[in-house]
């Protein structure tokens, strides 16, 4: 109720008359601004009441019309993996407002800067409006049909000349699950395993490290569950900027439980500012710190001995390695004082439940997998897995990187982590209703069909190096183990500035015969290199303009409904994939089980095909109907347990049915909130560690001893369930006739080998659940992963280290091959002694809250771009003063490879230690001092441009996943 001034009435009348001129467009824009008193360049031209659609002629300002009805649509924010619900207000097909999503148990109405600004993404000032083709350095507008025809023709040409492996299919962590699944399936039908996405550069080492320890590569608990923790360590993560809404739960938990929040990070981040303890370490020394903590834990007997005895294999080997990491050695290598680490270790081990949270700081190293394994081992040693308030709370990056990883957008596997061996292919052939031989025929050879493809971190090396057909003796090891190098790259939703060694990627970009970017924005690919021809930009819409499910970091699936139709001429991923598949000749077979009337793919039907196939990770119970029911009843879920309250349509179910959601949708498994939780019956979401690595090793059992989930018929460890196991247990006849028939049909004589993950009827899983058993077995977690290059994690100095004196004792791995290519290690590391003299500052990179990923989309969003207008480098005051650098001044940052340099602003701050510098990785559009704005198609250049940190970053890859080393390299900074 407002008190109005009488005088205001006169003003009202005057203005109201003026605005009546609106509908007819009588008032010109300038005059309007003067009246409105808002002025400025920011306001777009005004539309009439209710606003017009975002037409190619220019978008209208969304003016809500209170007289017209408002439609409310729920979708999921497309930025990070927290999975905040976005509530959109739509009028006349235009997205006019955002309201807080109070009902969502995950974000409860809140957002971060990006989530609160997503409406602008679909308003799309600077989005790609129509397909573009690069002709002699100029962007030409073409139609979709022409674009797809030309692209397909070229692809088929290349396929014939150089084989299917000559095309690199780069997918996206921002795909919906359905799009990710289709893209992976597409690559399989095309005949290559070189299909990848951002997880490679994000949590690939997490997935490998964690899965190799206890079974699944995913967050074990959830953001909400952190409210239960009494001790939280955030090591190698800055959620205050990368996952702000997660801090709602972290800080609430800290306050409710008077919990200790310990941040271990080279920078005093915004997260550290809210901590109760801050530990500063030298970048790249995570393993010494973890082993240092375990040293105190073992020394004082703080470990959880019962847990280790029952559920962990190989801890003694760890004890041997840990014994080397005395407090003195830890401090010598990492800089962390012994007393502080002891305090942290004691809290983590004794003030339970304790949880360990990590993000890129752990993963983006040449020892990323080993880091993650060490983190997992710390959790195992202290018994902090599988209960409320504990766990590996892995904060994943992009909105659906979890889903895209689960759906196999990964060079090493088919969807569902089945792998690439013949069994995996046969399973998927069954699921897809095609013959195994057909799929085999799509590949250049069986060997290549079962060989992991080339990851995104090395795509340009695979373009520059010759294939086996073209290599000569002079090339030595520098060749790609496939017929030909990459000739074409298809980029669906990935930035060009997020991979290291950018100057080298430019050469590859120029060499490609075909470059296709399918994205709402043109991306760096459109302007980075001096390509003149053979580039296509296809406008694909955001996930707000399509239906689809997405999997948040905590494994919950959420269904996002289409807010508005795709704007301008953009199309959604499904339809583009469908259209391409048709033209490439396998559309019929690929979409046999999926509804796509008139080329418009029905997202629900894709999810249903997934439900029929992804038994291995339990993506089978999350039917479209169940997911939509959850979205409609969000308010019914408890804040901390995520369980649906009694008396509601979702009673007893966990929000989003986090996988594994066992069995068919009919058996209504509630989903698994906390992984490996033996306190619950498996039908309530309880579980055990996976029996993935065999039953026995070197005379010791790998199965759990005396530990089992609540209500389990088998009160001890057991292997994963196959028909043979069922028979041995006498449970085979628990299977229904239909289930048995399905098994017989698919496996025939080999029926005994049919496993829980390959049984398309879901019967084996159902029977196991009925007996209170985990379908994947009940084993010990592995502290020793014998299949990895370092079975016990050991410290290895970063490739470019500021401490070359430590290389002798802690060298990186010797040069080798991996992922079809050479993988250098020691030969590059040995340069450090020389390099560190001229490049003495350790360079690390990371996130800002205002931007996401490569930044093209968020830097095109005027509300976000205003908040961070300059690329910068954080430099310590001591380093700044010796170089005569003042806060806000321009500086050149140079790197040890490629004569790289970048011109950025200096932010002098104590946030970074002396000898350490930080740069955000979201900027692009400047290259070594050159502003490349003019090379973007007109009207699509992001508002803010800047140098990319990856111009400066360097060689270095994790041996298990080829993760890049973006968190620690060397640089020099000088005044510009």
Partner 1 sequence: MIRILALLLALCAAGPALAQTAAPPPFTDRGQLSASELEFRAALKGERISGRVSIPDQQAANLIQPEGLDWRGFHNRTLAWIAGIAVLGMGGLLALFFLVRGRIRIAGGWSGHTLQRFSLLERANHWMVATSFLILGLTGLNLTFGRHLLLPVIGPVAFTALTQAGKYAHNFLAFPFTLGIVVMLLLWARDNVPEKADLAWLKQAGGLMGHGHPGAGRFNAGQKTVFWLTVFGGGIVAASGYVLIFPFSVTDIGGQQLAYIVHGVLAALMFAAMLAHIYIGSVGMEGAFDAMGTGQVDYNWAKEHHDRWVEAQVTKARQTVTPRDAKAAGAD
Partner 2 sequence: MARMKFLCDSDRCIECNACVTACKNEHEVPWGINRRRVVTLNDGKPGERSISMACMHCTDAPCAAVCPVNCFYTTADAVVLHDKDLCIGCGYCFYACPFGAPQYPKLGNFGSRGKMDKCTYCAGGPQADDTAVEYIQYGANRLAEGKLPICAEMCSTKALLAGDGQIIAAIYKERVTRRGYGSGAWGWRTAYQEDMPA
Distance in angstroms (rounded) separating the CA atoms of residues 49 and 67:
10
Q: Which of 228, 364, 497, 500 binds partner 1 (CB under 8 A)?
A: 228
Q: Which of 55, 700, 869, 882 binds partner 1 (CB under 8 A)?
A: 869
Residue 340 interacts with, from partner 2, partner 1, none (CB under 5-8 Å by kind):
none
Q: Which of 733, 744, 834, 910 binds partner 2 (CB under 8 A)?
A: 910
The span of 263-271, 619-627, 664-672, 951-959 binding partner 2 (CB under 8 A) equals 263-271
Q: What number of chain residues touch partner 2 (CB under 8 A)? A: 72
Site for partner 1 in 384-413 (CB under 8 A): 387-389
* Residue whose CB is less far from partner 1, 4 or 320: 4
Distance in angstroms (rounded) separating the CA atoms of residues 672 and 554:
10
Site for partner 2 in 56-75 (CB under 8 A): 61-66
Minimum CB separation of residue 222 from partner 2 in Å reads 17
* Residue whose CB is less far from partner 2, 23 or 156: 23
27: contact with partner 2 by CB under 8 A: no
Residue 560 interacts with, from partner 1, partner 2, none (CB under 5-8 Å by kind):
none
Distance in angstroms (rounded) separating the CA atoms of residues 345 and 390:
15
Distance in angstroms (rounded) separating the CA atoms of residues 152 and 157:
8
Distance in angstroms (rounded) separating the CA atoms of residues 459 and 167:
10
Question: Which residues lie below 8 Å from residue 791, measured CB to CB, with a gap of 6+?
Answer: 317, 784, 785
126: contact with partner 2 by CB under 8 A: no
Question: Which residues lie below 8 Å from residue 670, measured CB to CB, with a gap of 6+?
Answer: 643, 652, 653, 654, 657, 661, 683, 684, 685
DSSP state letters, 358-423: E-HHHHSSTTHHHHHHHHHHHHHHTT-SSSTT-EEEE---BTTHHHHHHTT-BTTBSGGG--SSHH
Residue 43 interacts with, from partner 2, partner 1, none (CB under 5-8 Å by kind):
partner 2
Q: What's the 3-state SS for 198-210? A: HHHHCCHHHHHHH
Q: In the 8-state DSSP scheme, what is residue 941?
A: S
Site for partner 2 in 277-336 (CB under 8 A): 278
Distance in angstroms (rounded) separating the CA atoms of residues 863 and 811:
46
**DSSP 3-state of 655:** coil
Q: Which of 25, 109, 738, 888 binds partner 2 (CB under 8 A)?
A: 109
Q: Which of 83, 85, 105, 119 binds partner 2 (CB under 8 A)?
A: 119
174: contact with partner 2 by CB under 8 A: no
Q: What number of chain residues touch partner 1 (CB under 8 A)? A: 41
Q: Which of 106, 188, 201, 272 binds partner 1 (CB under 8 A)?
A: 272
Tokens (6 digits) for 836? 């560190």
Phi-psi region of 974 (alpha: psi -120 to 50; beta: other; left: phi over 0): beta
As a whole number of angstroms, the longest Cα–Cα distance in the chain is 92
741: contact with partner 2 by CB under 8 A: no
Residue 42 interacts with, from partner 2, partner 1, none (CB under 5-8 Å by kind):
partner 2
Q: Which of 26, 256, 651, 878 binds partner 2 (CB under 8 A)?
A: 256
70: contact with partner 1 by CB under 8 A: no
H or E element in which residue 214 lies: helix 204-214
Question: Which residues lie below 8 Å from residue 967, measured CB to CB, with a gap of 6+?
Answer: 236, 283, 284, 360, 361, 364, 365, 844, 845, 846
Site for partner 2 in 834-873 (CB under 8 A): 849-850, 862-864, 866-867
Site for partner 1 in 124-143 (CB under 8 A): none
Phi-psi region of 643 (alpha: psi -120 to 50; beta: other; left: phi over 0): beta
741: contact with partner 1 by CB under 8 A: no
* Residue whose CB is less far from partner 2, 10 or 592: 10
Query: CA nearest 556: which of 399, 736, 417?
Result: 399
* Residue whose CB is less far from partner 1, 679 or 827: 679
Q: Which of 53, 71, 274, 831 binds partner 2 (CB under 8 A)?
A: 274
Tokens (6 digits) for 186? 């597409």
Q: What's the 3-state SS for 315-340? A: HHHHHHHHHCCCHHHHHHHHCCCHHH
112: contact with partner 2 by CB under 8 A: yes
8: contact with partner 2 by CB under 8 A: yes
Minimum CB separation of residue 1 from partner 1 in Å reads 23
Our CA angle for 827, 831, 834, nearest 5°, is 165
Q: Which of 130, 268, 568, 892 binds partner 2 (CB under 8 A)?
A: 268
The span of 267-275, 309-317, 535-543, 893-901 binding partner 2 (CB under 8 A) equals 267-275
165: contact with partner 1 by CB under 8 A: no
Contact footprint for partner 1 (CB under 8 A):
7, 10-11, 14, 228, 230, 254, 257-261, 272-278, 306-307, 310, 347, 350-353, 383, 387-389, 678-679, 706-708, 850, 866-869
């Amino acid at each position: 109720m407002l008190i109005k001034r009488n005088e205001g009435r006169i003003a009202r009348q005057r203005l109201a008359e003026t605005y009546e001129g609106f509908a007819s467009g009588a008032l010109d824009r300038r005059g309007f601004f003067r009246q409105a008193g808002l002025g400025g360049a920011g306001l777009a031209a005004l539309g009439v009441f209710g606003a017009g659609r975002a037409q190619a002629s220019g978008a209208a300002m969304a003016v809500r019309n209170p007289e017209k009805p408002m439609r409310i649509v729920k979708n999921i924010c497309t930025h990070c993996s927290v999975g905040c619900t976005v509530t959109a207000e739509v009028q006349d097909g235009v997205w006019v407002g955002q309201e807080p999503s109070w009902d969502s148990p995950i974000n409860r109405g809140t957002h971060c800067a990006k989530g609160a600004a997503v409406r602008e993404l679909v308003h799309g000032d600077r989005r790609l409006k129509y397909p573009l083709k690069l002709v002699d350095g100029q962007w030409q507008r073409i139609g979709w049909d022409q674009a797809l025809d030309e692209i397909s023709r070229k692809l088929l040409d290349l396929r014939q000349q150089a084989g299917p492996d000559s095309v690199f299919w780069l997918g996206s962590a921002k795909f919906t699950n359905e799009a990710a699944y289709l893209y992976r399936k597409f690559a399989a039908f095309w005949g290559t395993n070189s299909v990848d996405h951002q997880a490679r550069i994000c949590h690939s080492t997490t997935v490998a490290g964690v899965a190799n320890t206890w079974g699944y590569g995913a967050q074990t608990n959830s953001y909400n569950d952190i409210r239960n923790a009494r001790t939280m360590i955030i090591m190698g993560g800055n959620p205050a900027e990368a996952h702000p809404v997660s801090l709602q739960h972290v800080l609430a938990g800290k306050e409710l439980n008077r919990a200790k929040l310990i941040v271990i990070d080279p920078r005093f981040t915004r997260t550290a500012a809210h901590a109760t303890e801050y530990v500063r370490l030298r970048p790249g020394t995570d393993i010494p710190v973890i082993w240092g903590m375990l040293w105190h834990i073992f020394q004082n007997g703080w470990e959880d001995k019962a847990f280790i005895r029952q559920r962990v294999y190989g801890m003694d080997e760890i004890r041997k390695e840990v014994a080397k990491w005395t407090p003195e050695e830890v401090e010598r290598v990492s800089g962390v004082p012994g007393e502080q680490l002891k305090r942290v270790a004691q809290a983590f081990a004794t003030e339970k439940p304790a949880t360990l949270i990590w993000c890129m700081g752990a993963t983006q190293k040449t020892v990323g997998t080993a880091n993650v394994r060490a983190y997992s081992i710390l959790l195992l040693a202290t018994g902090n897995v599988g209960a409320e308030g504990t766990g590996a709370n892995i904060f994943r990056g992009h909105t659906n990187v979890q889903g895209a990883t689960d759906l196999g957008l990964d060079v090493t596997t088919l969807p569902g982590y089945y792998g690439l061996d013949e069994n995996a292919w046969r399973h998927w052939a069954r699921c897809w209703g095609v013959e195994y031989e057909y799929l085999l025929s799509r590949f250049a050879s069986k060997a290549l069909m079962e060989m992991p493809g080339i990851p995104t971190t090395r795509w340009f090396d695979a373009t520059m190096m010759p294939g086996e057909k073209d290599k000569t003796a002079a090339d030595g090891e520098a060749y790609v183990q496939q017929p030909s190098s990459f000739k074409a790259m298809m980029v669906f939703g990935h930035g060009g500035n997020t991979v290291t060694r950018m100057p080298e990627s430019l050469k590859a970009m120029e060499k490609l015969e075909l470059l296709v970017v399918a994205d709402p924005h043109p991306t760096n690919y459109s302007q980075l290199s001096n390509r003149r021809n053979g580039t296509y930009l296809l406008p694909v819409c955001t996930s707000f303009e399509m239906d689809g499910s997405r999997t948040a970091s905590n494994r919950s699936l959420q269904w996002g409904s289409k807010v508005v139709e795709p704007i301008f001429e953009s199309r959604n991923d499904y339809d583009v994939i469908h259209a391409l598949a048709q033209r490439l000749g396998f559309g019929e077979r690929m979409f046999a089980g999926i509804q796509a009337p008139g080329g418009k793919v029905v997202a629900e039907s894709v999810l249903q095909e997934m439900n029929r196939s992804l038994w291995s990770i339990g993506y089978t119970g999350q039917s479209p109907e169940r997911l939509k029911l959850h979205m409609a009843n969000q308010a019914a879920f408890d804040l901390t347990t995520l369980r649906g309250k009694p008396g509601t349509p979702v009673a007893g179910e966990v929000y989003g049915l986090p996988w594994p959601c066992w069995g068919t949708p009919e058996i209504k498994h509630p989903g698994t909130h906390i992984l490996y939780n033996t306190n619950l019956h498996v039908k309530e979401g309880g579980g055990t560690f996976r029996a993935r690595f065999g039953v026995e090793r070197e005379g010791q059992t790998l199965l759990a001893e005396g530990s089992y989930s609540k209500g389990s018929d088998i009160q001890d460890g057991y292997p994963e369930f196959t028909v043979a196991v069922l028979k041995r247990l006498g449970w085979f006849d628990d299977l229904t006739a239909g289930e048995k028939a399905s098994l017989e049909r698919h496996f025939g004589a080999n029926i005994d080998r049919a496993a829980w993950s390959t049984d398309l009827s879901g019967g084996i899983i159902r029977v196991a659940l009925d007996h209170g058993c985990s379908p994947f077995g009940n084993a010990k977690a592995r502290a020793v992963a014998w299949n990895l290059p370092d079975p016990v994690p050991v410290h290895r100095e970063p490739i470019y280290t500021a401490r070359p004196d430590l290389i002798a004792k802690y060298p990186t791995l010797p040069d080798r091959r991996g992922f079809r290519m050479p993988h250098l290690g020691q030969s590059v590391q040995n340069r450090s002694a020389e390099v560190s003299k001229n490049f003495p500052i350790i360079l690390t990179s990371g996130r800002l809250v205002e931007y996401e990923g490569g930044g093209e989309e968020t830097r095109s969003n005027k509300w976000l771009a205003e908040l961070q207008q300059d690329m910068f480098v954080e430099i310590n005051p001591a380093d700044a003063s010796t170089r005569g650098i003042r806060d806000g001044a321009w500086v050149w940052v140079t790197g040890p490879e490629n004569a790289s340099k970048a011109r950025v602003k200096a932010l002098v701050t104590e946030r970074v230690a002396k000898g350490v510098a930080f740069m955000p990785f979201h900027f692009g559009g400047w290259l070594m001092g050159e502003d490349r704005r003019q090379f973007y198609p007109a009207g699509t250049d992001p508002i803010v441009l800047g140098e990319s940190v990856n111009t400066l970053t360097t060689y270095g890859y994790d041996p298990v996943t080829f993760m890049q080393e973006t968190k620690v390299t060397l640089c020099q900074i000088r005044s510009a």
